[in-house]
Amino acid sequence: MMMRLPLVGVLALALSAVALPAAAQQDGGLFGNIFKPPAATPQPLPGGDETELVGRMERLESSLRQLTGQVEQLQYRNQQLEAQVRRLEEGAGGARGPAAASAPALAPAATPPSGRPASVPGGPGKRSDAFDPNADPAAPGAPQPLGSPASAATALPRPAEAIPGGRPAGGTQVAALPGPGASVRELYDAGQAQLQRQDYSGAEQTFRQIIQSASGDRIIPDATFMLGESLFLRQNYGDAAASFLEVSTKYPNSPRAPEALLRLGQSLAGLGEKETACATLQEVDRKYPRATSSIRQAVEREQKRVGC
């Protein structure tokens, strides 16, 4: 019995000697682990916060995709408008110059025609409402009989106070065009009278003469608009659009500019350019928020008619 006890003690010491180096190898020293700070336990994100963060990121990505799509659409529409403007300017540059240079001398006006004027043949997509002054006498720009009460409230003739250096054109019957020494103002009044008599071809020649001979005059924006009007009422939408575009771009602060933009949209619709026409009509309210109620109402009617 006495021999077994020392043997057990020796075995215990031997096992301890083997275990201590193994523990020291694993932990970097038996006593060093006593002073080693406890390892930080990673704290997982609360489940609710993580879900909310993922949801916010998804919403932001969706908004970004929508904004990118809107920007691409606006860029595409802008490119279409620029291309349309270039085509109109190129067509107008080739058609208007020779016509203005070869315009014959103005002769005395013919006797005003009685009854309904002869209809002008139109191409595909012929207008039947806004472009026919007889179908819608209340439309902006529709000619009114000279001296009638309604003529003072429409775009033709324009009130004298709105035209630089003007005098009333309505209420006075013009028998013949002014002579060679006539002033620009007299020519302008004569051109308005021709429009009111539905002599659109004569009015076109008169306003072209004003634009050619009175370059830089304050009346040029009005004369350019009225030239477009004489073409518009004859359903010559291409040349009319070029005139209205010139007023909108070269004279954007002119009192005629909002109506010119409206007429430009109507002319483009007459040419079958629906998308460009709708974009142009939309620009009237954005660019001229203080336009008259009659112009705004005309824009709304045209948008409905075109199907914008």
In this structure, are residues 281 and 122 in contact, taking their beta carbons and an 8 Å threshold? Answer: no
Q: Where are the domains of the chain?
A: 149-306
Q: Residue 255 contacts by C-beta under 8 Å, 6 or more apart in sequence?
A: 162
List pLDDT tens digits, range 263-304.
Answer: 999 999 999 999 999 999 999 989 999 999 999 999 999 999
Amino acid identity for residue 263 in this structure: R
Question: Any idea what the Cα angle at residue 82 is, between residues 89 and 234, rounded to 5°?
Answer: 45
164 against 194, higher pLDDT: 194
150 against 222, higher pLDDT: 222
Which fold does the domain 149-306 belong to in CATH? 1.25.40
List pLDDT tens digits, range 78-89.
Answer: 677 767 777 776
Backbone angles phi, psi at 213, to 5 degrees: -100, -15
Which of 226, 161, 216 shows the shortest CA–CA distance to 190?
Answer: 226
Q: Within 13 Å of residue 71, how many CA atoms lie on the same side as its CB?
A: 6
Among the ranges given (86-90, 128-132, 259-263), the one the predictor scored with the smallest mean pLDDT:
128-132
Consecutive H or E run containing 255: none
Report the Cα 215 to chain-centroid distance in Å.
29
DSSP code per residue over 30-84: TTHHHHSPPPPPPPPPPHHHHHHHHHHHHHHHHHHHHHHHHHHHHHHHHHHHHHH
Averaged pLDDT for residues 214-236: 91
Which of 160, 155, 163 shows the shortest CA–CA distance to 133?
Answer: 155
